[in-house]
Chains A and B, each alone.
Chain A
Amino acid sequence: MRHVVRIDTEPLQAAIGWLRRGDAVPVEAGLGAAWQARAAGWRDDPAVDSACCLSTSSLLGGSPIEAMLDRLETLGRLTQDRLATARLVLVEALANAVLHGNLEDRAPRDGTAQHHARGVGLCARRDGEAMAFSIVQEGPGLAGLAARLSAAGSRGDTADPLEPGGLGLFLIARLSARWAVDEDGRRLTIWL
């Protein structure tokens, strides 16, 4: 039986433990009721294989992505090639949510306690033959994210590698089967 667990000591390491076991959706204790509700929704969705909700401060110290992907590998959801792609794309999406979303483009050391307390949710859900990964943040929505992803995906082979701006979005757009932006730019879903 899967359940939602509130974790309040060393949240990242605790979440990684729960994600590897695969029988819970861990939620960092300091996050608000909305995150508990979101986690409960993921818990109740039988297509969800792995999910967690952590604060920005925890995610600046490390990543739950490896544990989530290890779980998906155990379940046989992704081939080795797709796992490698998922790893890079999820790192880019998480960086986008943390640095540009919750921290509003501040360097981590310049973020306030309020910025660092904001949550990020990650969810891996089966969708037919594909896996859909959702990354949700609670900062101001990223205005124009969909337009910038569209533009990044159409960036041609003649693009100048010496102008690396938007490279993260380029990698997301180019390496994913498709993507969607919801919740006023706070939720990015990537299909692999």
Chain B
Amino acid sequence: MTIDTQLQTETNRLIVTFRGTMTFHDYGASDALLDRVVDQIGASNGAIDLLVFDLAEVDLIDSHWLGMFVRALKRAQEKGAKVALRRPQPSVRRLLDLVQFGRVFDIQD
């Protein structure tokens, strides 16, 4: 594992905090995390309407995890929740801009 994750809820938000390097080495972890997050949003019966991925302590994200963000966005929207990508480091922010995630995600610096 090269990435650590922590989940916490704050009022209407489910916050997923990542620490480390997000690469294909955590191949299975991303799908398990996605299922867990979506289940938690669904179980809240609408109380959670914002899913936040906190990236402040992430130094690299590869295409596998970018794809996970997109899958999370689609599944969260099905549950009535929005998705935000929070506090990306400059190198990660440049990557998010390159793949134009600002068009579909709320990116919070």
Contacts and interface: CB of A to CB of B under 8 A. Distances in A.
Interface of A: 60-63, 84, 87-88, 91-92, 94-95, 98-99, 107-109, 157, 159, 161-162, 164, 167-168, 170-171, 174-175
A92 B70 contact: no
B94 to A, nearest CB: 9
Given A161-B100, A162-B73, A167 B24 contact: no
B95 interface: yes
B23 A63 contact: yes
Closest 5 pairs between A and B when the two form their complex, measured CB to CB: A168-B63, A167-B63, A95-B24, A164-B67, A161-B100
Interface SS majority for chain B: helix
Given A161-B70, A167-B99, A171-B98, A95 B28 contact: no
Interface residues of chain A: helix, strand, loop or mixed (majority): helix
A107 B25 contact: no
Nearest to B67: A164
Interface of B: 2, 23-25, 27-28, 60, 62-64, 66-67, 70, 73-74, 91, 95, 98-101, 103-104
Given A87-B60, A108-B27, 9 more contacts: A63-B23, A88-B95, A108-B28, A161-B104, A162-B73, A164-B66, A167-B63, A167-B66, A170-B63
B25 A63 contact: yes
B106 to A, nearest CB: 13
Nearest to B24: A95
A88 B66 contact: no
A161 B103 contact: yes
Contacts of A175: 98
A129 to B, nearest CB: 23
Contacts of A88: 60, 62, 95
A95 B60 contact: no
